[in-house]
Structure formats: C-alpha cells, structure tokens
A = this chain, B = another copy of it.
Amino acid sequence: MRPTFSVTARAGAARLGQLTTAHGVIDTPAFMPVGTYGTVKALTPEELTGLGAQIVLGNTFHLMLRPGTAVIAAHGGLHRFMHWEHPILTDSGGFQVFSLKSLRRISEEGVRFRSPIDGAEVRFTPEDSMDVQLALRSDIAMALDDCTAHPATEAQARESMERSMRWAARSFAHYHRGEAPPGGLFGIVQGGMHLALRRASLESLLRLDWPGLAVGGLAVGESEEERLGVLDAVVPHMPADRPRYLMGVGRPEDIVAAVLRGIDLFDCVIPTRHARNGHLFTHTGVINIRNSIHRSDLAPIDSACDCYTCRNYTRAYLRHLDRCNEMLGSRLNTLHNLHFYLGLMRALRAALAAGALDGWAREFFAGRRADEA
C-alpha cells in the first residue's frame, strides 16, 4: 500500500504527523533505528518495540550481498526474515555504493562495483535497486541516487544531481511498472551544498507524484551551517502534505534543529554505533564509559533516565563489560542510547502536541554542555 501522511499540528515550520503504511502507523517526527543487515545491532524486534521504535531502516546494498535477495524473498520479505512486524524503510543502496569509492564505476546506466564480500563484479542500476526493494517488500523504498562527493564544484554537483534526477525517474517508472507495489517510493533531493541546484533538484522531482521526499547528500562532512543552509533553502518548498525525510542525520541537536525546520523522518547510526564504542547520551551531553573516572562509579549512566539499563546497572558495571568486550555491554548501551533518541522524539511530539515547542527547544539547547567524549 502507498503510504499516506497527515499533519495533526504545527509550530512554525515544525509538524506533528502520522505516516500510515501497510505495517502500521508512524508518529512523526520519528527516528528510525538502522538495521543494516536485517538486525538493529544487538537488539531483538521486541526490544525495539518496547523502546518505542515504530519503523526501522534496512540497507538494500548490504542485504543484496548478504544473504542475497533470493533468501529474503523466500521468507516473503524482510519483515518475516528479521521477525519485525512493523514498517520498514529501505535505502536505495546509493550511499553505500558511493562509499565504495575506488571499487566502483558510475555510468549513465548505473553502477558497477566489486563486491566487498567476494570480489565479484556486481551491476547495480536504478531498476536493480527497485527490484531488490520490491523483493524485500519495504513499506518505504528509496529512489537510487548518485551521492555527490563533498566538497564538489558547481559543475560536479550539477552533473551528479542531474544523473540522480534521471535515475529517480527510472526508479519511479520501474517501481510502479507492475501490480500495486507493497509500499511507496520516496524521491531524494540532491545538489550538494549548492542551493540553486538543490532547488532545481526538488523542482525536477516534483514532476512525479512521490508519497514522500527525502533530503540526501548531507552528513557527508559538511559544516552545520552548510547543512542548515540546505534545509532552509529546500524544506520550505517541499510539499506540505508529504513526509520529509532527512537522510543520515544526526546528533540529537541536529535532529531538533531539523524538526524546527519542518523535517519529519530521521535515521542515523550514531545512537547504535556510539553505544558499541561506549559513547552514551545523557540529558546534559555524552559520556565515554571507557573513561577511568567511571571505574567504581555506582551511578547509572543518567540518573534522569528510566531505561532498563539505567534502572538496573551502574557505570562501573558497564565500563567493566566494555573492557571485557562483553556483548551484554553493547546491548545495554544500545538500549540506553536508542531510548534516549526515541525519548527525544517523544518529547518533541509531546511539545508539538502541547503547542509548546519553542520553549521546549530553548530549554533543550540550554541544557546541553560540552561532551566528555
């Protein structure tokens, strides 16, 4: 089913909304935990649901290589393969192919690359990306894009953006060529840090009827000022009745800043990756559990937090697990960090519902100090 979106409250550019898919409703603004290989690292689907996750992200590129599309299709799709009954968004694979750098060759047709798993040459076109995402039965599929390198000249960014737009049209045509697809396809605005190109990209996309649009090509090394500049140039022109997804961003403060500018959907590896590296979020900033000051610390990560980890374990225990490379440490840290992110989204939604977003955001930014990590 094609996802539908309704906005239920506004505060300036910010929106409270509901995104409805075949596998359930997502309250927005929403954060999507990243489940690269068909698992949000270290957690079960029941734990994710318990944390309040309503949608997870799967990586088309990685799943296509391992276990391969056919294995997942044999399970009836990614939901059953990974035992996740709720909505799934899959990226297109564009960003991962972009990250391969020397291993890939881009042409108008698509990309050819050497598999980092077994060295085999793989062809990956917009049509291939759609075929994989259709087989995974994603609720939200993404058009294949050509991620623009950063920094890029205007000419480089234009060439890349225009290719992305041609690939977006091919993605759209292929995704909708057969019977009703299982979900909906989102287009991706590109154009690097060049605001005119960003607006041209959006205009190009708007020739087709996407159920949602994303801003891609950010979180690639640009400054915060550049990123917010792109959002300020693009988001006001994105359709008000469609969900807006900021890909790969970011830190809690980045998410709040983007919500204030009208973004509805987020994904980022920060909470889960930070957790495995011992960087843990608190309401005043990030701590590094590996720091020796936590050696005998009987306090929880954050005394204001009511997650399972903070209710039951000390910093000393978590530091010990980290030092011993115990998997339980990654689990407990991941639970905590995702609780923090999903709690942040709940707080944003509550503030929006209460008409109190401005005050909430002021307090949020005032309460953060320099990170220990």
Interface residues of A, Cβ cutoff 8 Å to B: 37-39, 41-44, 66-67, 70-71, 74-75, 81-83, 295-296, 298, 312-314, 316-317, 319-321, 323-324, 326-328, 330-331
Beyond known contacts A41-B327, A71-B316: 15 more, CB 8 A cutoff: A37-B324, A37-B326, A39-B321, A39-B328, A41-B326, A42-B331, A66-B324, A67-B316, A71-B296, A74-B298, A75-B298, A75-B316, A75-B317, A82-B317, A83-B317
Closest chain-B Cβ to A38's Cβ sits at a distance in Å of 7
Closest chain-B Cβ to A318's Cβ sits at a distance in Å of 11
Q: Are B327 and A67 in contact (CB under 8 A)?
A: no
CA gap between A70 and B295 in the complex, in Å: 10
Q: Are B67 and A295 in contact (CB under 8 A)?
A: yes
Report which of B81, B317, B323, B330 forms a contact with A327, defined as CB distance below 8 A: B330
- Residues of B contacting A324 in the complex (Cβ-Cβ under 8 angstroms): 37, 66
CA gap between A42 and B44 in the complex, in Å: 12
Given contacts A37-B320, A66-B324, A324-B66, contact A331 B75 (CB under 8 A): no
Closest chain-B Cβ to A288's Cβ sits at a distance in Å of 17
Among residues of B, the one whose C-beta sits closest to the C-beta of A117 is B323
CA gap between A71 and B38 in the complex, in Å: 38
Report which of B66, B83, B312, B330 forms a contact with A83, defined as CB distance below 8 A: B312
Closest chain-B Cβ to A73's Cβ sits at a distance in Å of 10
CA gap between A317 and B43 in the complex, in Å: 15
